Homo-oligomer: A and B are copies of this chain.
């Protein structure tokens, strides 16, 4: 039974996890030996098929996620752009880190002929997220990374959008089959218990996960405690602190307030990059400006009733805290929905109970924290856990002192303008940061995410014909390589 038919079958006919995993293992025998051109064609075929199905997929996504057609249209475009970017990166080839050292008897110890490149790990499990039904779901960044690497994928679909997941899986599997990828290269499973079994499955060699801190930690612990531990790349939780200097507030308070209001309410605040805590000078009246910018916000349906309930609980906990004021909106929320809430407090209150005040509150809220001076603000920011992003708004030429060092240690992306929501997909993008924002030191967005599903292999004194094309002496694929320590980019005049 192929996984292509599997995903179109009714529940009764669905293959077992063992069958899906066995098919993935069998497919690996082909994908591990696939050429860059083949993998590139697979990725492009998936992108084309998804774009062609946009008129069907976007309404389905909206029905299940309530995220709106405009946002979902953009998200699908971003998803297929990511697949195409990876398709081009696979052909460019430098992600393989191809390295050739010719023999050198003069070194200690003497050096044989050594040729190293990255090779695929094996079948990869991907846990999709609720809040990006395209970009971090069935055909999202983790799936694109694994296919680019040459790894079969088993997606555990998210229960918040099951019909979209199934239909996307059908389209992905169909496109891959048409493009000549092997049966079993893509599988789709459902259910919490199946997800647990997936992380434990002997055929699974790595996991990509986007979701909650609690759920991610449970699965990370499972992956780490296997008889054979496997890498678990989880993107879990982030507060995404923002620091606004006195000079910046003086110069452009309204612009900053409306920028923040737009960012934290975007998509009902259901972004892992939502700016959850914003440090502003005491007495600047910034919280009230943000409240004014938000205005009368209507309740917006959230992704699931559970997410809405957790949002309301989080707000209630914050608002009940001594020293926290609600300056816009109300902590009482209508079931299933979220409406914008602005809270305010001081660094003293935060430092007295950082665990409570700096926990992620997933939804359209932000906590404005007044500070006395920058050192005071940085002391409080240091108590924020690792975050996906950290932002500073300062004026041109302003002395940043320790701000940059503190934000860099905290986060995987440091912004000097704009707001952290909206994650461009590119070579330089980084989406990940210190615990608890991620479980690893790798990105889950951008081209370097492919690296997660590869491991290095060195070939010693291999006959040229036995080597992968990427390592043959003549460099037939023309990829960038390091040769005897020198990075060489073919096609450049230096080559």
Contact = CB atoms under 8 A, between A and B. Distances in A.
Interface string A466-495: 100000000000001010110111001110
B456 A110 contact: no
Contact of A414 (B32, B88, B460): B460
A81 B97 contact: no
Nearest to A82: B108
A229 interface: yes
Contacts of A386: 228
A262 B454 CA distance: 34
Nearest to A492: B494
A56 B229 CA distance: 42
A494 to B, nearest CB: 3
A494 B491 CA distance: 9
B458 A115 contact: no
B424 A107 contact: yes
Contacts of A99: 427-428
Nearest to A445: B458
A296 interface: no
Interface stretch (A185-193, A316-324, A333-341, A432-440): A432-440
Contacts of A432: 455-456
Interface string A384-419: 001000000000100010001100110111111110
Contact of A457 (B411, B485, B493, B494): B411
Nearest to A74: B108
A441 B112 CA distance: 23
Nearest to A108: B77
Nearest to A391: B460
A169 to B, nearest CB: 23
Of A107, A225, A457, A485, the most chain B CB neighbours within 10 A belong to A457
What bracket does the count of chain A residues touching chain B fall in? 35 or more
A215 interface: no
A5 interface: no
Stoichiometry, copies per complex = 2
B225 A116 contact: no
Given A121-B441, A405-B32, A428 B101 contact: yes
B424 A114 contact: yes
A462 interface: yes
Given A424-B107, A441-B231, A417 B492 contact: no
A425 B101 contact: no
A77 to B, nearest CB: 4
A411 B116 CA distance: 13
A442 interface: yes
A457 B485 CA distance: 25
A283 interface: no
A132 interface: no
Nearest to A234: B229
B457 A430 contact: yes
Interface string A207-244: 00000000000001100110011110000000000000
A50 to B, nearest CB: 13
Contact of A426 (B29, B107, B424): B107
A77 B110 CA distance: 12
Of A78, A99, A488, the most chain B CB neighbours within 10 A belong to A99
Given A77-B108, A81-B108, A461 B427 contact: no
Contacts of A442: 456
A428 B458 contact: yes
Contacts of A35: none
Contacts of A101: 424, 426-429
A33 to B, nearest CB: 7
Contacts of A412: 455-458
A422 interface: yes
Contacts of A221: 224-225
Contacts of A489: 487-489, 492, 494
Of A404, A405, A484, the most chain B CB neighbours within 10 A belong to A404
A417 B114 CA distance: 11
A466 to B, nearest CB: 6
Given A414-B462, A417-B461, A492-B489, A456 B443 contact: yes
Contacts of A418: 112, 460-461
A119 interface: yes
A15 to B, nearest CB: 24
Interface string A90-132: 0010100101110010011111101110010110000000000
7 contacts: A81-B107, A107-B425, A228-B386, A228-B435, A414-B457, A416-B466, A441-B454
Given A114-B426, A230-B435, A448-B456, 9 more contacts: A81-B107, A88-B485, A101-B429, A115-B428, A119-B408, A400-B466, A430-B458, A432-B456, A442-B456
